[in-house]
Amino acid sequence: MKAVQIANPHELRIIEIEKPSPDSHSNVLVRMTAAGICGSDGTIYHGTNAIVTYPRIIGHEMVGIVEETGPTVRNLKPGDRVIINQVVSCGRCYPCRNGRGNVCDDLKVRGVHIDGGFREYIAVPEADCCLLPASLSDCDAVMIEPATIAIQACARAQLARDDMLLILGYGALGSSILRIARLMCDHIIVACRTDQKLEDARRNGARHTINVRKENLEEKVRQYTGGHGATVSIDAANAGDSLLSLLRATGNAGRVMVMGLAATTAQISPFLITAKELDVRGSRLQNQMFGAAIELVRDGKLDLNGSVSHTFPLTKAQEAFDLIDSHDPSVRKVVLTFDF
């Protein structure tokens, strides 16, 4: 079967590997139908991801159809449409014992530490499969995984109705955060570098927008928050200067969420953290949030239809990455399909 492997930074290969079979642990064989390309896949391709090991079959936004099940499987059957949890944790270490398996001491992430979903078939434990709502196509269903990341970030931020939230960056991550945050918070500011994306943010619930190419982020945030600054800021841009910008734009007693996994060093100001008594928190992956995201879809509170802007067959993965790297403003979510 075919798979997409990053052998080394900037070296993407279409390789042939053996088709897996279900066993006593990975007891469900899934035929992949759609797999989303995430920003972190881009960092793996470009060699800026601090935690990946090479060579690696990437891909962690994984949707498919159950093809075969082992004898211990109880709740799935061939033909079921599923999305696959990317997080593999030990269940025994300090984080796992305290309900934070997403930062397990022996964490394995599919597509990062172990091979992921950019391949025709994958075998996984039944517990890592979640049934998909019939209302979503396979391509749109890949957006459930980014939604779980957004739910995790908002939970870590303790986002509340009366917060004044700043989202810096409005790519796939920023737009997913906005979709979730607008269910929890009324006062949302989105900042990015593209007017077209800011228009989309306003249509999707942002009260205010800031074009950071043309406007001063800190000044505009203070204007839109009555002089206080954001009470919660989420870095969905992960640029070299974004953390420092958020420390400046966040008001006293605020929370600043960091989500990037790039290996580059970011500038910070300890004075800003101490003087404002800011909480600077990491948010990584998701912690058993697939059920919450799927429930929001089923309840009609989260609409993921029409989220995908481009699709490519798996065998044209290089073209997909090249398109993303072009920074074409029409690019929102790019999905690999398996109908080649």
Token pair of 55 as six digits: 């060579």
Please calculate the CA angle 45-49-55 and round it to the nearest 5 degrees.
Answer: 55
Please calculate the CA angle 126-129-131 and round it to the nearest 5 degrees.
Answer: 120
> Tens of pLDDT along 171-200?
888 999 999 999 999 999 999 999 999 999
> Which domains does the chain show, CATH number per domain?
2-143+304-337 (3.90.180.10), 148-282 (3.90.180.10)
What three-state secondary structure class fits 130? strand
Average pLDDT over all residues of the chain: 95
The reported pLDDT for the residue numbered 13 is: 98
> Tens of pLDDT along 138-179?
999 999 999 999 999 999 999 999 999 999 999 888 999 999
The reported pLDDT for the residue numbered 332 is: 81
> Tens of pLDDT along 15-52?
999 999 999 999 999 999 999 999 889 999 999 888 89
The reported pLDDT for the residue numbered 183 is: 97
> Tens of pLDDT along 269-326?
899 999 999 999 999 999 999 999 999 999 999 999 888 999 999 999 999 999 999 9
pLDDT band at 263 (very low <50, low <70, confident <90, very high): low
Angle of helix 195-203 versus helix 172-181 axis, rounded to 10:
20
159 near 80, Cβ under 8 Å?
Answer: no
The reported pLDDT for the residue numbered 49 is: 87
* Burial class of 219 by CB neighbour count within 10 A (0 to 12, 13 to 18, 19+): exposed
- Three-state SS for 54-115 is CCEECCCEEEEEEEEECCCCCCCCCCCEEEECCEECCCCCHHHHCCCHHHCCCCEEECCCEC
The β-bridge partners of 230 are 250
Token pair of 183 as six digits: 């269910």
The reported pLDDT for the residue numbered 262 is: 64
What three-state secondary structure class fits 280? strand
Query: Distance between CA atoms of 330 and 340, rounded to whole angstroms?
Result: 24
Token pair of 255 as six digits: 């929370």
Question: 4 or 39, which is more confident?
Answer: 4
186 near 163, Cβ under 8 Å?
Answer: no
**What percent of the chain has pLDDT above 70?**
99
> Tens of pLDDT along 107-133?
999 999 999 999 999 999 999 999 999
The reported pLDDT for the residue numbered 331 is: 84
**What percent of the chain has pLDDT above 90?**
89
Token pair of 300 as six digits: 């009609």
Q: Which of 60, 106, 50, 55 is nearest to 83 (CA)?
A: 60
311 near 167, Cβ under 8 Å?
Answer: no
The reported pLDDT for the residue numbered 306 is: 86
- Residue 2 pLDDT greater than 80, yes or no: yes
Mean pLDDT (whole number) for 80-106 = 97
Query: Distance between CA atoms of 266 and 252, rounded to whole angstroms?
Result: 21
The reported pLDDT for the residue numbered 329 is: 76
- Residue 135 pLDDT greater than 70, yes or no: yes
Give this prediction's pTM.
Answer: 0.91
CB neighbours of residue 147 within 10 Å: 24
- Residue 98 pLDDT greater than 80, yes or no: yes
The reported pLDDT for the residue numbered 238 is: 85
